[in-house]
Amino acid sequence: MNIAKVIVDVPARQTDRAFDYLIPEDYYGLVQPGVRVIVPFGPRSLQGFVVGVESSSNVEKLKAITQLLDIEPILNEELLQLGKWVTEQTLSYQISSFQAMLPAALKAKYEKEVELIKPEQLSFMPVTLQKLFQQSLTVSWGNIENEPGLMKSIQKEIGNGNVEVNYVVKARGKKKTHKVLFFNSTNEEARTLLDTMSSQAARQKEVIEFFLDKQIKEVPRITLKNELSTTDSPIKALIEKGILTEKDKEIYRDPHANREFKRTQPLPLTEEQSNAIIPILHSIEHNQHQTYLLYGVTGSGKTEVYLQSIEEVLKKGQQAIVLVPEISLTPQMVERFKGRFGSSVAVLHSGLSIGEKYDEWRKIYRKEVNVVVGARSAVFAPFENLGIIIIDEEHESSYKQEENPRYHARDVAIYRGSFHQCPVVLGSATPTLETFARAKKGLYELLPLSKRMHDKGMPAVDIVDMREELREGNRSMFSSLLFEKLQDRLEKKEQTVLFLNRRGYSTFIMCRDCGFVVTCPECDISLTYHRSQQLVKCHYCGYEEPVVKQCPSCQSDHIRFFGTGTQKVEEEIGKLLPEARIIRMDVDTTSRKGSHEKLLTAFGEGKADILLGTQMIAKGLDFPRVTLVGVLTADTMLHLPDFRSSEKTFQLLTQVSGRAGRHELPGEVVIQTYTPEHYSVELASQHNYQDFYLREMGIRKLHQYPPFFYVTLITVSHPEITKVVAVTEKISTYLRSNLSSQTIVLGPAASPIPRIKNRYRYQCMIKYKDEPQLRSYLKDLMDHYQKEMQQELQITIDMNPYMIM
């Protein structure tokens, strides 16, 4: 077993396979699947992942591994397998998949050190280790990296739980340390000692008894002093006697460390909740893999079902992953999990620094926690005995990664659920059509929660037709109804959330008089305005026409492209209601770390009357004093050139409406729109998912979109437009001639954003029901363009696009 199979860190087609390397004799037993190594590769030295160890190779002259970076595998067998699967599914590179599973601290070269965590065991360790840790509990990796013998001893002690390897992320400032006291005697030794100590040493006795009573071997000095209200002198005396040792120890950079989480108890479940949880508990108990759709309106008690399912999993000694969308990873959400499970919860989200993220990951890796609550990438948490995976708000598009590997967390969750034979629970009030269709077919089990807790009804929703407002001479961005209600809340000292939906590029053309939107005759998708050419274009099929000056429907000349910013809204409120205190949340005001949280806390404390923001305020927020929610323009997302635009609009409006009236005070919602008759708007205002589902399924079927067809999107980009068009044309032709006749290949068409950073972008969309060979055709294409892709040409393939940009 002296050959290692290594995936090297060169994300490219021709290097996307395992290369064979010789394992130097000294490293036998140390090099194992899942460790990282440094290997010579051409003239360079590269990092790589060992994916297998074998006894022979077909290659004659093998080069040897030059350095070992890990003593223990950082990817276990399951994750190595999963990495391969993700690579295959997303047509990514293996190295990219492996790196996607690990915290950033492990990707780059950070300083590493070896730490003795049980100093009292040192005397039983080999002399080489005793020498190594003579001076300090931590020694830098440099002391051992060329010493395979030492590495083996360390590997053994890692196995015994006495030593560990840490990555030191020198982010801002130094790592945090505190003074820790270690108790060096066995219990018997200590008891004998107590008997022989003189009565003057009462304080010292207390300290020894403290360790004995609590059955602990170490304690922070400050904790000991506080608990015994003692001074430094007895501690010093015991250190001098060799009974205690004091060392500096790193403390975790726990972002929630300063917060107290009030512990909560499981609530008695309602009948609906009980019915929903029984099948989940059954799967947990019998180690059965099943995907559930917990379909419940906002406030119907889904989270309580998650919490009690997790409790069962923990009782079995297993672990749980909970995914929540990035933007709803609010302190409120974290509190609910920490409140129930305390310090056994790790939290992973993008607001953490590299060091903090690594600390949280390490708690999982070391099995110091058994619940992780996190955004998308937490689905890769290195738990080895998973008992449940929960995806809250499963319809959220942030579960799809928009760079390589372009995976969807839901697919990964189901893969891991099947590996671990455990349930996967998808929760949503507005599931994606794909998920709901699977539940209806019986592929997932549907668990409905139809009622809101505490008999709270859904808030009343008013739809305001902004075309009417215009006709009546109101050119402001506020309808008279919304303005009245705003004033009313200001007087009553209640709070308002104002929501401006401004995702994407507001470049669709709409008539302000009748709400008519210019759409593609072939695709039923709004056309995108290209200012420079004065054209509107379809980004799916390439159809284009000149910009109209008059509305084709009502002949009005109030037809124009759309867009409003949060800043503009803030200014307008300032003019109309100068006394109102506003908190604005958008990318500009929340780019600094922690600002998101700060703004929300300020709003929660009543420091503002109005919270104004983009979709980042749509979810998870739960403020008792919010009694009015206003949506300024419901239409902006409706007309994005995306077949999911109606679905996204429905989901968002439903979410936003759910923000009002969650507590004692009843809530109201005002939705302003130019297309009140659109089924997304109308059905969202009635909280009617079922009818929306049926309507939208009809449209998807008619236009051959998911869940009836699969969609793959190929985007080509290059600085020269002729090149882009030619390549996209060739790709389309190649696919058309190879794929089945039922498959639809659209394009070449310019991408909705046709040029980014001086690179032109074209796309080709494949819609298919069954193409078992598709992935291999696409790989052939990538192979064909490989040389050019090392220069200016870029080709990206998305096997399940959520952004058609």
Specify the residue, 108 or 267, whose C-beta has the smaller distance to ligand ADP: 267
- Which two tokens mark 32? 């194992």
Tell me which residues in 257-276 interact with ligand ADP (CB under 6 A).
267-270, 273
Interaction of residue 302 with ligand ADP, rule CB under 6 A: yes
Specify the residue, 387 or 620, whose C-beta has the smaller distance to ligand ADP: 620
523 in a labelled binding site: yes
Bridge partners of residue 631, in order along the sequence: 499, 671
- Which two tokens mark 299? 């406030």
- Shortest distance in whole angstroms from residue 527 CB to Zn ion: 8
Do residues 327 and 615 touch, judged by C-beta distance below 8 A? Answer: yes
Query: Which of ligand ADP, Zn ion, none does 538 bind, CB closer than 5 to 8 A by kind?
Result: Zn ion
Interaction of residue 62 with ligand ADP, rule CB under 6 A: no
Buried b or exposed e, range 615-654, using 16+ CB within 10 angstroms: bbbbbbbbbebbbbbbbbbbbbbbbbbbbbbbbbbbbbbb
- Which two tokens mark 691? 């009818």
Interaction of residue 119 with ligand ADP, rule CB under 6 A: no
- As a whole number of angstroms, the distance between CA 565 and CA 569 comes to 7
Sheet strands (E) in 409-487: 424-428, 445-449, 460-465
- Shortest distance in whole angstroms from residue 454 CB to ligand ADP: 7
Interaction of residue 511 with Zn ion, rule CB under 5 A: yes
> Could you say which of 290, 303, 654, 751 contacts ligand ADP (CB under 6 A)?
303
Specify the residue, 16 or 392, whose C-beta has the smaller distance to ligand ADP: 392
Interaction of residue 615 with ligand ADP, rule CB under 6 A: no
User: Residue 72 — left, alpha, or beta (φ > 0 → left; ψ -120 to 50 → alpha)?
Assistant: beta
**Segment lying near Zn ion (by CB under 5 A), choices 132-140, 239-247, 479-487, 508-516:** 508-516
511 in a labelled binding site: yes
- Shortest distance in whole angstroms from residue 622 CB to ligand ADP: 7
541 in a labelled binding site: yes
Angle between helices 221-228 and 202-214 (to 10 degrees): 110
Backbone angles phi, psi at 390, to 5 degrees: -115, 135
764 in a labelled binding site: no
Interaction of residue 296 with ligand ADP, rule CB under 6 A: yes
Strand order in the sheet with 218-220: 218-220, 177-183, 244-250
- Shortest distance in whole angstroms from residue 781 CB to Zn ion: 24
DSSP string, 246-272: EEEEE----TTTT-------PPPPPHH
At 217, which amino acid appears? K
Specify the residue, 59 or 267, whose C-beta has the smaller distance to ligand ADP: 267
Q: Alpha helices of 577-673 — where are they, by DSSP H?
A: 595-604, 645-657
User: Residue 757 — left, alpha, or beta (φ > 0 → left; ψ -120 to 50 → alpha)?
Assistant: left
Interaction of residue 513 with Zn ion, rule CB under 5 A: yes
Tell me which residues in 515-554 interact with Zn ion (CB under 5 A).
516, 520, 522-523, 538, 540-541, 543, 551, 553-554
Do residues 399 and 271 touch, judged by C-beta distance below 8 A? Answer: no
> Could you say which of 57, 474, 556, 796 contacts Zn ion (CB under 5 A)?
556
Residue written as token pair 């309602």: 270
Specify the residue, 461 or 746, whose C-beta has the smaller distance to Zn ion: 746
Buried b or exposed e, range 372-386, using 16+ CB within 10 angstroms: bbbbbbbbbbbbeeb
Interaction of residue 739 with ligand ADP, rule CB under 6 A: no
422 in a labelled binding site: no
- Shortest distance in whole angstroms from residue 392 CB to ligand ADP: 7
Query: Which of Zn ion, ligand ADP, none does 556 bind, CB closer than 5 to 8 A by kind?
Result: Zn ion
Give the residue ranges of the annotated binding site: 511, 514, 520, 523, 538, 541, 551, 554
Residues at the site binding ligand ADP, with contacts judged by CB under 6 A = 267-270, 273, 296, 298-304, 453
Give the residue ranges of the annotated binding site for Zn(2+): 511, 514, 520, 523, 538, 541, 551, 554
Residues at the site binding Zn ion, with contacts judged by CB under 5 A = 511, 513-514, 516, 520, 522-523, 538, 540-541, 543, 551, 553-554, 556
